[in-house]
Chain A
């Protein structure tokens, strides 16, 4: 097959909208959207600041079945305000996760998938967004006691800020080569630490440190997949099959601290150094 044919054949996940991503992951015909755009629950804060609000606040809450089991997919629309988390969108994610945990306590084993395409908190909504992200994090930790919470970052926005912490709390993380995962975005690091430390215009450099491939080889994510809808779906099925991890990555604090102690902050971090330190594993 020629490259052109391959490109035409491929069912890209990245090119899909948040709603279309959610529909593609759930069993055909099983998706039901909660607080859909026609409910009119949009951000009350953005119009006051001259920014048009999207009717769903950039978050799709999709309830349905995955391989026949109750699942909720929370898809963030990266094309709207950089996927930023405001009061409404954040509450939609946190509320859905809380209801999923409640389901589990009532004998309905509901699982969750979060599609992270987000730069983190929405600056226009400041503390309300931060509070919502804290709610999301608490809800992930609650739900993952019962069922795996799986995060996917396909790109092209990636996952940054407080939402990267939320991603880190997930039972499993899936990324593509286009994805990026990091606490501070490149522009913020450059602004705070200087051009010599981090050049936010150097894309190969950014991806070499925070890109999906690097994060996979540094054992910070669990699966590295092509931008292919069916491969992402089957990876999700495999991970759900695996059940809860023996120990969540974020619970291995001692191991992470031991690895971080090996970092020499006097020399510029290089992708290879990060890989070799992190490949020693996190079980202290």
Chain B
């Protein structure tokens, strides 16, 4: 088990809560809650050790561009590939936008 923590610049607080995914093999769950404006904090729990550089690069790619709504995000990962991780994060933000709250 590894725990990793990140902070990124962000926009206005997220509009609500969202949940995407399931902690199944090769998958993950993303729990997203509003955070104070300007900062997104992320905590990653992963069952796969030694992939820190991949997480750093992936999250920098997702959150390093245009600021997303400010959120406190928990990721519970069960060996998902970077593509699946990105998809689940985007799914959580999409559910927020569509008002489909967890």
Give A residues with C-beta under 8 Å from B. 17, 19, 36-38, 47, 50-55, 77, 79-81
Provide the bound-state CA to CA distance between A4 and B86, in Å: 31
Interface presence of B40 (CB below 8 A): no
Q: B45 to A47, Cβ gap below 8 A?
A: yes
Beyond A37-B102, A52-B76, A54-B29, whether A47 also contacts B1 by CB under 8 A is yes
Interface presence of B62 (CB below 8 A): no
Interface presence of B17 (CB below 8 A): yes
Provide the bound-state CA to CA distance between A55 and B76, in Å: 8
9 nearest A-B pairs in the assembled complex, by CB-CB distance: A54-B23, A79-B24, A52-B47, A79-B22, A52-B78, A52-B76, A80-B23, A47-B1, A52-B23
Provide the bound-state CA to CA distance between A17 and B91, in Å: 15
Q: A38 to B31, Cβ gap below 8 A?
A: yes
Beyond A36-B102, A38-B17, A47-B45, whether A53 also contacts B23 by CB under 8 A is yes
Q: B1 to A50, Cβ gap below 8 A?
A: yes
Q: How far is the CB of B77 from chain A (nearest CB, A)?
A: 6
Interface presence of B74 (CB below 8 A): yes
Among A50, A54, A81, which residue has the most Cβ atoms of chain B within 10 A?
Answer: A54
The 8 sampled A-B contact pairs (Cβ below 8 Å) are A19-B102, A37-B19, A37-B102, A52-B23, A52-B46, A52-B47, A79-B24, A79-B27
B47 / chain A contacts, CB cutoff of 8 Å: 50-52
Give a binary string over B24-60; 1 marks a CB under 8 Å from any A CB, 0 the rest.
Answer: 1001010101000000000001110000000000000
Choice from A37, A51, A79 contacting B31 with Cβ under 8 Å: A37
Provide the bound-state CA to CA distance between A36 and B29, in Å: 14
Provide the bound-state CA to CA distance between A51 and B79, in Å: 10
- Tell me the dominant secondary structure on chain B's binding face: strand
A53 / chain B contacts, CB cutoff of 8 Å: 23, 45, 76
Beyond A38-B102, A52-B46, A53-B23, 20 extra complex contacts between A and B, CB < 8 Å: A36-B102, A38-B31, A38-B33, A47-B1, A50-B1, A51-B1, A52-B1, A52-B77, A52-B78, A53-B45, A53-B76, A54-B23, A54-B76, A55-B19, A55-B29, A55-B31, A55-B76, A77-B22, A80-B23, A80-B24
Choice from A19, A36, A55 contacting B74 with Cβ under 8 Å: A55
**In the complex, which residue of chain B has the Cβ closest to the Cβ of A47?**
B1
Give a binary string over B60-75; 1 marks a CB under 8 Å from any A CB, 0 the rest.
Answer: 0000000000000010
A55 / chain B contacts, CB cutoff of 8 Å: 19, 29, 31, 74, 76
Q: How far is the CB of B83 from chain A (nearest CB, A)?
A: 19
B19 / chain A contacts, CB cutoff of 8 Å: 19, 37-38, 55
Q: How far is the CB of A147 from chain B (nearest CB, A)?
A: 29
A19 / chain B contacts, CB cutoff of 8 Å: 19, 102
Provide the bound-state CA to CA distance between A270 and B31, in Å: 48
B27 / chain A contacts, CB cutoff of 8 Å: 79
Q: How far is the CB of B42 from chain A (nearest CB, A)?
A: 15
